[in-house]
Amino acid sequence: MASIGQIVNPTPGSDALARARQRASLVPDCLVEAKRIANTVIAGWHGRRKRGIGENFWQFRPYTEGESLSRIDWRRSARDDHTYVREREWEAAHTIWLWADMSPSMMYKSTFGSVSKESRALVIMLALAEILARSGERIGCPGVMEPVAARNAAERLATALMHAPLPGGLPDVAMIRGWSDLVLIGDFLDDAPAIMARLTPLARRGLRGHVVEIADPAEELFPYTGRTEFTDPETGSKLVSGRAENIREAYSSAYLARRDDLGQSLRHLGWTFVTHRTDHLASEALVAVHMYLSGMPAKATHGGLL
C-alpha cells in the first residue's frame, strides 16, 4: 500500500511566524483600512465614528463660546467668516482572541497538500495577529497570552506559543469578558452537535465568533484505492478497507453533510464559517476572515468560503 498521507512533526513557532509575515504581506493594506463601521465597539479596529481622543481627523464644527481657544483651527476658520474647531475621531481598540487547534489530527499532511493542517493553522493565526496589531487591536490567545495592543503582538504570541504550546480541542474561554471576537482555527472533525454544544454558550455570552476549518485535500477528495489502512491519529485505532474506492461516495456524503451541518449551525448563532484547503494560498483564508472581522460580507474564493 503506497502512503498518501502521514503525521508530521509540530511546526516551530519561529518558522510559522516567518511564514505568517510572508502571508500577511499579500493582504492589501486596504483591507486593514476598510470602511469604518459607525457607532460600534465591535469594529473598534476601524475606529468609532464619534468625537474623542484619537489621532485621526473626524470633522470641523463651529466654535462654541466658552470653549478653549486652543481647540480652534485657525487655518480652516480663515477661509470664511466662521470660527471652527477641529475634532478628532474617537478610537477604541477591540479585543480579538485567536486560537488554533493542535489536536493530533491537525498534524496530518497528504501528498496533495502543500503543508500540514497544523502548520497552516499557525500561519493563519500569526498572520492575523500581525495584521490586526498594525491597526491597534488587542490580540490575545486563551490560556496562552493576555490581550496586548502592540505592534509586535505576533512576535509575542509566537514566543508565548513556544513556552506554552496550544493543546488540542477548543479553548477554555472562561477568562474572556465582554464583547470580543473569537477566531477558532482547526479541522473540526468532531460531530457538529458536539462542537455546537461547546460554542453555543459562548455566543450567548456575547462573543462574536469566526470559525476557520482547515482541510487537507485528501480529506475532501478521498483518493484512496485498493487495500488501504486508515489510522485514527487521536486514538491510534486502525481500519482496513479491501477496496477503498467502494466507500468513496458514502464517505464524501458524510464528510460534506458534517460540514454543511456545522456551517448552518454557526450561521444560526450569528457566527461566520470559512473553509480552507492546504493546497490553496493561506492569504485566501486571511482575506475572508478580515472581511468578516470588519463587518463586511466575504466573497467565495478558491479556498472554499461558505
The grid coordinates of residue 274 equal 470559512
Consecutive H or E run containing 290:
helix 282-293
Range of weakest confidence among 41-50, 64-73, 237-246, 265-274: 41-50
Residue bearing cell 484619537: 54
* pLDDT band at residue 235 using 50, 70 and 90 as cut-offs: confident
pLDDT at 30: 23
Full set of structural domains in the chain with CATH: 5-38+92-294 (3.40.50), 51-90 (no CATH)
First-to-last C-alpha distance (Å) of the chain:
35
Cβ-proximal residues to 182 (8 Å cutoff; 6+ apart), any chain: 96, 97, 99, 173, 176, 202, 207, 208, 209, 210
* pLDDT band at residue 88 using 50, 70 and 90 as cut-offs: low
In order, the DSSP letters of 170-233 are S---TT--SS-EEEEEE---S-HHHHHHHHHHHHHTT-EEEEEEEE-HHHHH----SSEEEE-T
What DSSP state is assigned to residue 2? -
Q: At 241, which amino acid appears?
A: S
Distance CA 268, CA 260 (A): 12
Tens-digit pLDDT profile for residues 21-56: 544 443 222 222 222 222 222 233 333 333 433 445
pLDDT at 3: 59
Mean pLDDT confidence for 196-224: 91
Specify the 3-state DSSP secondary structure of 26. Answer: coil
Compute CA distances 144 → 150, 167, 205, 249, 286, whole Å: 16, 10, 21, 41, 22
Q: Could you tell me the pTM of the whole model?
A: 0.71
The grid coordinates of residue 306 equal 461558505
Tens-digit pLDDT profile for residues 291-305: 788 765 555 444 454
Task: Say if residue 95's pLDDT is above 70.
Answer: yes
